[in-house]
């Protein structure tokens, strides 16, 4: 990669980081202006158009280029449903997920806050990522003998329920992580106790979902009657 290409890539990432920082401070993506972003990056507004057509295209690129790689890496490392012999498979997967959230809080804050936000392009991009990861989990479940009796339709529903459940934990976990890292007055032992309790509860929820599916009986009649 030439130095010019590298500099262009760095500037592109600077735009992404500016959006993530502003959203982490409480702004919604739809409230962020082009001038505000360029001011954060330290470039003139015309420089923006060398990278993006408008703010919507910036948001869409942020989701696919930055957040997409994070979700893909997480999906590759999650153990739920894999054909391997793991001790405490679900518990380790939940721990990995929450550790990933702690490692990149800006990414996950953006995902949960903008999933139902005001930008249509960003909403669609995030929903596409979530569907892709749900499909990946459904394909992993095919490999697990415990779910062999469930048909493809129900495995997809199970995977979607699992991904939505994971996402429901993010805000509470981020609040604990943020307090632990930035509030000097908090009792760190108390925060750690709360994190361990949440980790335990999240693991139990996932166990109830996936162990419960073991007793589910798939049938075309059941699916049609539910519709």
Average pLDDT over the chain, rounded to an integer: 87
- pLDDT beneath 70: ranges in the chain: 79-87, 180-186, 220-227
Evaluate whether residue 103 is within a structural domain.
Answer: yes
Assigned domain for 83 exists: yes
* Angle, vertex CA 90, rays to CA 86 and CA 93, nearest 5: 90
Nearest alpha-carbon partner for 151 in 166, 162, 137, 141: 141
**So what's the pLDDT on residue 148?**
85
- For residue 92, give its domain range: 54-218
Q: Residue 163 sits in a domain of what CATH number?
A: 1.10.357.10
Q: Based on the structure, what is the number of domains in the chain? A: 1
Residue 29 domain flag: no
Q: What is the pLDDT of residue 87?
A: 58
Q: What confidence score (pLDDT) does residue 10 get?
A: 93
Residue 45 domain-assigned?
Answer: no
Confirm whether 8 is domain-assigned.
Answer: no
Residues 110, 202, 205, CA angle at the centre, nearest 5°?
A: 120
The model's pTM? 0.85
Task: State residue 180's pLDDT score.
Answer: 64
> Would you say residue 155 lies in a domain?
yes
Query: DSSP H helical segments within 25-86, as ranges?
Result: 34-41, 45-48, 55-61, 68-77
Say if 226 falls within a structural domain.
no
pLDDT at position 61 is 95
Residues 6+ apart with CB under 8 A from 165: 205, 206, 209
118 lies in some domain? yes
């Amino acid at each position: 990669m030439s130095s010019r290409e590298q500099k262009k890539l760095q500037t592109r990432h600077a735009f992404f980081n500016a959006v993530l920082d502003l959203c982490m401070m409480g702004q919604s993506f739809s409230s962020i202006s082009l001038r505000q972003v360029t001011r954060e990056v330290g470039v003139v507004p015309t420089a923006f158009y060398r990278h993006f057509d408008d703010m919507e295209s910036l948001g869409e690129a942020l989701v696919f280029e930055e957040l997409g790689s994070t979700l893909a890496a997480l999906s590759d490392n999650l153990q739920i449903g894999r054909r391997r012999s793991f001790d405490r498979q679900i518990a380790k997967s939940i721990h990995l997920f929450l550790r990933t959230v702690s490692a990149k809080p800006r990414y996950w804050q953006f995902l949960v806050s903008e999933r139902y936000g005001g930008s249509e392009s960003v909403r669609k991009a995030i929903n596409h990522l979530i569907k892709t990861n749900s499909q990946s989990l459904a394909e992993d479940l095919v490999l697990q003998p415990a779910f062999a009796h469930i048909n493809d339709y129900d495995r997809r529903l199970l995977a979607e329920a699992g991904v939505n459940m994971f996402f429901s934990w993010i805000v509470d976990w981020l609040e604990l992580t943020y307090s632990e890292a930035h509030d000097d007055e908090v009792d760190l032992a108390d925060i750690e106790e709360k994190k361990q309790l949440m980790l335990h509860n999240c693991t139990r929820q996932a166990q109830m979902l996936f162990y419960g599916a073991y007793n589910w009986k798939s049938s075309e009649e059941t699916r049609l009657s539910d519709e």
